Structure 1
Amino acid sequence: MLTLAQVLNKSAARLSGLHPAVLAAATALIERSYAVGVPILITQGLRTIAEQDALYAQGRTRPGAIVTNARGGYSYHNYGLAVDFALLLPNGWGVSWDMNRNGNQNGTRDWLEVVQHAKAIGFEWGGGWTSFKDYPHLQMSFGLSLTELRTGKKPAAAAVEAVIERIKPKEGQAVKTKMKVAIQVNGRKIADGWLEGGVTYVPARKIAEALGAQIAYHPAANTVEITTTPQKGAIS
């Protein structure tokens, strides 16, 4: 299982060049998604005008399927104000665009969980567009149209600060990274545990029983004692 640091590192290269507020928002989205057991990968961040034109040509003057209706300068990606995402699979390297996947088995589709967190942070979701729906796409316009961005206009300080305020955890409510994990002994699942802040919490009795050990709680000393049975021939 990947740690949060490892998940963040996988997206690091694609976060380069983003507007600072969008960078902070995308980082927060990765963290919040990980906290509910849905690791994600940022697959696209800043896209140059030339890259946008090449993508627009796909399915038109170049082989492949049409994937965008935006020419160079007509995408928020071109200004570092948009990202695309995918679900990161448990093997740590595979990705999925399956919008029906429910990897954390909580009854809500993983994709929509990510979108919910993204909207709470301040992203606009391409899947909500009425014409060309772009389900992996998230953007922050800061109230600016693409026409204004093409003329060189920048996001206002107040609009940027509003995004930063959304990202900040409320006082006394730090963002927690807690997720359910399966505990295995010699390849056999024996219990569920929790991974939080890089520490794995497991039921001691289940572990002891799986190892053939005795476990006892001593109230006076507030101690849990696990005693293993010495193996024949062992030197004490």
Structure 2
Amino acid sequence: MAYYYEERSRNNIAKLATETRKRAREWFDWCCENKIEVLVYETIRTLEQQKLNVANGKSQTLKSYHIVGQAFDFVMSKNATVDWGGYKTATAKKAIAKAKSLGFTWGGDWSGFVDCPHMQFENKGYGTDKFSADIPKPAPAAPQKTGKQGVFAKTNLNIRTKSKWDSPVAFIIKEAYYAQIIWDVRENGWVQIEFQGKKGWFSAAVDVYWHTKNPNVLYTAVKDVLTRADPKWGGKPSFRMKKGETVNVIGKTGAWLKCSKSGVIGYLPDDKKHLIKK
């Protein structure tokens, strides 16, 4: 699945110097593969920004590795929530250890001025990692595929106007909606996506972002019901259903069914008192 801050993090990582960017991407890919959610919230920093940080006590040097593209700042996250106190958790320790194994120095190990969000790649010294054109890593197995492939979005996906993360959003495909990958039109590890007559670009990493089998199961309302925005009673209401109305169920969260109606998500208990499989 795509995590809440994945796109923002990848856009920030893309701004780093060449070798730092390569290793930061490897680290971030590893975090995603191991279901560790992080937000990379800052990479490049101007000298003026750094002067301000020194002035307000957020930093102690004007020779910051952020200025030369050899550092990033991160925070642990869970969906849209960030945890500024989460650097001592078991999950964070695994992520930090992985970054160190890739050659990064962690600011949480420093004595005196401890900087837990900070990771820097010193390379051969300050300013030794140069910038070069960004060439995204091609997605595995994409070159062997041709024609069109029907898929279903694992989460809401921002389809882009061009084959890169920082290009404008052409349109959004809602979770569990059907689209087609056009494998004959691809570049830089991206493929063209066709959805309801519109075309745009998205990463060719199918297993990360798409279901290859239809996740939608049709259910019928046993009575008039009000779904919830979260899988719990007493939470914010989502959409209403009348008795006999059908709805797509796109998965389960614990003992709750995850329902989708016109792209809006709502939850109901899987107790056969509210919904039954059609």
| CA shift in 2, pair 1:21/1:4, >3 Å | farther
Confirm or deny: 8 A CA contact 1:45 1:84 kept in the other structure.
Answer: yes
Structure 2 counterpart of 1:78, from 67, 80, 83: 67
TM-score with structure 2 setting the length: 0.46
Superposition pairs of residues 1-236 of structure 1, within 5 angstroms: 3-4=1-2, 7-58=5-56, 66-71=57-62, 74-89=63-78, 92-99=79-86, 102=89, 109-144=90-125, 146=126, 149=127, 154-155=128-129, 183-187=253-257
Bigger RCO (CA 8 Å, 6+ sep): 1
| CA shift in 2, pair 1:32/1:114, >3 Å | same
Confirm or deny: 8 A CA contact 2:54 2:61 kept in the other structure.
Answer: yes
User: Partners of 2:116 and 2:88 in 1: how far apart?
Assistant: 14
C-alpha RMSD over aligned residues:
3.1
Q: Which runs of 4+ in 1 moved over 6 A?
A: none
User: Partners of 2:277 and 2:93 in 1: how far apart?
Assistant: 52
What is the SS of the residue equivalent to 1:84?
strand
- Compare the two structures and name the one with the higher strand fraction: 2
What is the SS of the residue equivalent to 1:27?
helix
Match of 1:200 in 2: none
Q: Which amino acid aligns with 1:139?
A: Q
User: Partners of 1:125 and 1:20 in 2: how far apart?
Assistant: 19
Structure 2 portions without partners, runs of 5+: 131-206, 209-250, 259-269
The alpha carbon displacement at 1:7 in A equals 4.2
Confirm or deny: 8 A CA contact 1:41 1:86 kept in the other structure.
Answer: yes
- Compare the two structures and name the one with the higher helix fraction: 1
TM-score with structure 1 setting the length: 0.53
Number of positions where the alignment pairs a residue of Structure 1 with one of Structure 2: 146
CA deviations on 1:50-81 (whole Å, 9 max, x unpaired) are 111111111xxxxxxx221112xx11001000
> In terms of Rg, which structure is larger?
1
